[in-house]
């Protein structure tokens, strides 16, 4: 049997869309995701990736318009001033080594908890006014790279880098993120590649994590809570966690076929086995982009160019080999299944080429997407109606407790 609250069974069946596929669940002025184009507040993603910086894109999303030179300068100063973490969050991060080592927590869980603690310490936490929300959004944007950096320092067993300032104020958001993690100031090329990846990851309309954040904000709950929920949703391998899982999958293929197997039918056999066992291949497919994700080729080109120069050798193989393998996997997936890579596939390869530890790939996604989440939380608060859909009841028919 099937019924839905406040709807006739047949109407409910007719309106039901599994996974909300194709359902328009709200309005937004922030982003448009279509097969043909990805637009952030009127600007197309190729244009932004080529001509804007992540700071400009974050301003665009949060403040609603392209910044003037003066507005951008002010925004950067404000964000840089907020990079340092409260002592309580530093203490939590210093204690996270055993949690990660034991396997109970992964870096995404640590970021989620750190953001939640930040909420407990933010004097604006309970204030949902536009001005307070904007202040909190800038703080979150500033502090998440510092959380990631300090956590990586703890994992690496080294002293925390610049805890008082949250990094080097002369560095861009992208460069500072890499610096906080490794203690090394990145080359201009590395900085550019990370910057573009942050632009590509910043916003994507009603994706699962943003929708989660909007549902939380729609109860008039607070921004830190809504971002914490967004992080939990992003972690999943069907969403942001796919950038880590895509790289893990490539490592598995490399282990199974060996370096000499790249470019040979050994990879086809591996893939055929995955198809036969109905395995989901990470970094492929998309709910909206059935004919390809606009963001993937942009990042693929940058990552491939970096790997071809072979500036680092993080996995014990020349970095270009990983792109060779990735391209072969992509081709087989397209030929056999007509499924395109999404942005997480080249992201995994690109971050690997940059020498970033795999468990930090999704936290870096957070460092970017927080700008989109906060823009959506503000939009939800500004024109709120609680988000409360119906469900199709497929449980047992009514019966008496005391028969």
Q: What residues line the site for ligand COA (CB under 6 A)?
A: 19, 238-239, 242, 280-287, 339, 342, 344
Q: Which is nearer to ligand COA, 151 or 246 (CB)?
A: 246
Q: Which is nearer to ligand COA, 144 or 242 (CB)?
A: 242
Residue 285 CB, nearest approach to ligand COA (Å): 2
* 224 noted as active-site residue: no
Q: Which residue is nearest to ligand COA (CB)?
A: 285
Residue 235 CB, nearest approach to ligand COA (Å): 12
CA distance linking residue 162 with residue 164, whole number of Å: 5
**What's the token pair of residue 355?**
């020498």
Q: Which is nearer to ligand COA, 172 or 197 (CB)?
A: 197
Burial of 341: CB neighbours in 10 Å, binned 0-12, 13-18, 19+? buried
Residue 19 CB, nearest approach to ligand COA (Å): 6
Asked if residues 18 and 389 have their Cβ atoms less than 8 Å apart, the reply is no
**What's the token pair of residue 92?**
């939590």
Q: Is 289 helix (H, G, I), strand (E, B) or coil?
A: coil
- For residue 186, give every residue at least 6 positions away whose Cβ sits within 8 Å of its Cβ, in sequence order, or none: 174, 175, 178, 179, 194
Residue 35 CB, nearest approach to ligand COA (Å): 13
CA distance linking residue 174 with residue 176, whole number of Å: 5
Residue 249 CB, nearest approach to ligand COA (Å): 10
Could you list the beta-strand ranges (E) of 183-271.
none
CA distance linking residue 239 with residue 249, whole number of Å: 15
Q: Which is nearer to ligand COA, 35 or 68 (CB)?
A: 35
Instruction: Choose, from 150, 204, 224, 286, the residue flagged as catalytic.
Output: 286
Q: Which is nearer to ligand COA, 130 or 275 (CB)?
A: 275
Residue 241 CB, nearest approach to ligand COA (Å): 8
* 204 noted as active-site residue: no
Q: Which is nearer to ligand COA, 284 or 322 (CB)?
A: 284
Residue 275 CB, nearest approach to ligand COA (Å): 8
Asked if residues 332 and 267 have their Cβ atoms less than 8 Å apart, the reply is yes
Instruction: Choose, from 224, 344, 376, 381, the residue flagged as catalytic.
Output: 344
Query: Would you state the torsion angle of the CA atoms of residues 124, 128, 131, 132, taken in this order, to the nearest 10 degrees?
Result: 10
Asked if residues 344 and 197 have their Cβ atoms less than 8 Å apart, the reply is no
Residue whose entry in the numeric block shows the structure tokens 């009127």: 42
* 317 noted as active-site residue: no
CA distance linking residue 227 with residue 216, whole number of Å: 9
Q: Which is nearer to ligand COA, 46 or 239 (CB)?
A: 239
Instruction: Choose, from 109, 127, 168, 239, the residue flagged as catalytic.
Output: 239
CA quadruple 160, 165, 171, 174: dihedral sign = positive
Query: Looking at the annotation, which residues are catalytic?
Result: 239, 286, 344
């Amino acid at each position: 049997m099937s019924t839905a609250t406040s709807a006739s069974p047949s109407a409910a069946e007719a309106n039901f869309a599994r996974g909300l596929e194709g359902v328009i669940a709200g309005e937004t002025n922030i982003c448009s995701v279509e097969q043909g184009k990805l637009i952030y507040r009127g600007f197309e993603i190729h244009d932004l990736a080529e001509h804007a910086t992540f700071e400009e894109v974050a301003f665009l999303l949060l403040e609603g318009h392209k910044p003037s030179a003066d507005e951008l300068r002010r925004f950067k100063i404000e964000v840089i001033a907020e990079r340092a973490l409260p002592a309580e969050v530093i203490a939590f991060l210093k204690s996270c080594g055993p949690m990660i080592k034991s396997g109970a927590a992964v870096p995404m869980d640590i970021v989620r908890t750190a953001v939640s603690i930040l909420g407990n310490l933010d004097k604006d936490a309970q204030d949902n006014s536009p001005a307070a929300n904007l202040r909190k959004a800038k703080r979150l944007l500033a502090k998440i790279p510092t959380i990631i950096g300090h956590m990586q320092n703890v994992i690496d067993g080294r002293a925390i880098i610049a805890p008082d300032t949250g990094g080097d104020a002369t560095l861009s958001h992208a460069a500072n993120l890499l610096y906080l993690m490794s203690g090394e100031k990145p080359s201009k090329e590395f900085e550019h590649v990370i910057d573009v990846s942050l632009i590509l990851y910043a916003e994507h309309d009603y994706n699962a994590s943003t929708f989660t954040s909007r549902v939380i904000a729609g109860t008039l709950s607070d921004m830190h809570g809504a971002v914490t929920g967004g992080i939990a949703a992003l972690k999943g391998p069907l969403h942001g966690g796919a950038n880590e899982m895509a790289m893990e999958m490539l490592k598995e293929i490399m282990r199974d076929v060996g370096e000499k197997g790249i470019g040979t039918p050994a990879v086809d056999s591996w893939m055929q086995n995955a198809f036969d066992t109905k395995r989901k291949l990470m970094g492929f497919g998309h709910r909206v982009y059935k004919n390809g994700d606009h963001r993937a080729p942009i990042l693929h080109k940058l990552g491939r160019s970096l790997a071809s120069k072979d500036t680092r050798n993080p996995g014990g193989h020349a970095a270009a080999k990983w792109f060779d393998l990735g391209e072969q996997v992509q081709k087989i997936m397209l030929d056999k299944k007509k499924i395109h890579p999404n942005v997480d596939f080249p992201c995994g390869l690109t971050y690997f080429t940059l020498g970033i530890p795999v468990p930090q790939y999704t936290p870096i996604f957070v460092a970017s997407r927080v700008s989109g989440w906060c823009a959506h939380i503000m939009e939800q608060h500004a024109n709120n109606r609680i988000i409360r859909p119906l469900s199709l009841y497929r449980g047992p028919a009514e019966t008496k407790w005391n028969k």
